[in-house]
Amino acid sequence: MTTTKTEQVKNYLLSLQDAICTAIEKQEGGTTFREESWEYHGGGGGRARVLEGGRVFEKAGVNFSWVTGERLPASATAKRPELEGRSFQAMGVSLVVHPDNPFIPTSHANVRLIVAEKEGEEPVWWFGGGYDLTPYYGFEEDCRHWHTTAKTACEPFGKDVYPRYKKWCDDYFFLKHRNEPRGIGGLFYDDLNEWPFERCFEFMQAVGNSYIDAYIPIVEKRRQTPFTEQHKQFQQYRRGRYVEFNLVYDRGTLFGLQSGGRTESILMSLPPVVHWNYNWQPQPGSEEARLYDYFLKPRDWVNGSEESH
């Protein structure tokens, strides 16, 4: 693994952070990200950017990090025990956007590279990432647009790539203790090294670059939709599922905490206001019930059919 290769990935990630922040600020038309640079105890650091209290976005965080350490954390070696004891460098961009309007979905994206090294042996590297969408009130055309954009990004890399990573996303962003998905999915991949390094890097760029195309048109379409306090209450209730997933299951959160990362950056993904209501159930036939009955089901959104998992 040459320094030139990792520098290319690092430079791309910095440019991706800039591009996504610019697109979000354009939607805001006034509120901007504040930036904090931080250093990691093992080496490296990051650039955290957070926007809060905007006209469109209640909270948005877009973080870049590049950290090194002497030992991979347990979350990275649980399925690959042969890598225990290796030093590592990890770099990535991770973001989450929590809109104010309940008719705009929450979105999350992440792209990353991890390199595990041991003296006298070849470095082991892999890419990971993806993006997923968490609507509170569902619109079929939004789901279709999101997944069609994801499929288009994957197509140059093989016809099996989108269906494989779409299913992985459905399976991964699933709250087992609730027996329900977090949202309508998208793409998820990890341990990607089946292609040459350059090809895997190209895939990272295809996924990262397509996020803006997937999300911003939905924001523009829904940002003026009138909403009531009831809509807001449901959004805040459903945000609780987001919190539960991130704190119980999310690999990135666990990797960051176990590796001694910057807590404020790791937990910036959490929404600002959340409600947990005891044993709440939606009214039958309501739009809230339709989210559960129709949208929170594995579907082939591109072609508009339900899938059996």
Q: Residue 110, annotated ligand binder?
A: yes
DSSP annotation of 285: T
Q: Residue 94, annotated ligand binder?
A: yes
**Encoded tokens for 229:** 């306090």
Q: Residue 111, annotated ligand binder?
A: yes
List active site positions.
108
Nearest to 271 by CA among 123, 115, 108, 158: 108
- CA end-to-end span of the chain: 38
Q: Residue 275, annotated ligand binder?
A: no
**Encoded tokens for 256:** 């960051």
DSSP string, 148-191: HHHHHHHGGG-TTHHHHHHHHHHHHSEETTTTEESSSEEEEEEE
Cβ-proximal residues to 100 (8 Å cutoff; 6+ apart), any chain: 54, 55, 56, 57, 58
DSSP annotation of 83: G
**Encoded tokens for 303:** 């072609």
| Separation CA 165–CA 265 (nearest Å) | 26
Q: Residue 39 pairs with which residues in a beta bridge?
A: 45
DSSP annotation of 61: E
| Separation CA 204–CA 216 (nearest Å) | 19
Q: Residue 261, annotated ligand binder?
A: yes
Q: Residue 147, annotated ligand binder?
A: yes
- Torsion sign across C-alpha atoms 131, 136, 138, 142: negative
Q: What is the β-pairing status of strands 87-99 and 106-117?
A: antiparallel
What residues form the annotated binding site for substrate? 94, 110-112, 260-262
What residues form the annotated binding site for a divalent metal cation? 98, 108, 147, 177
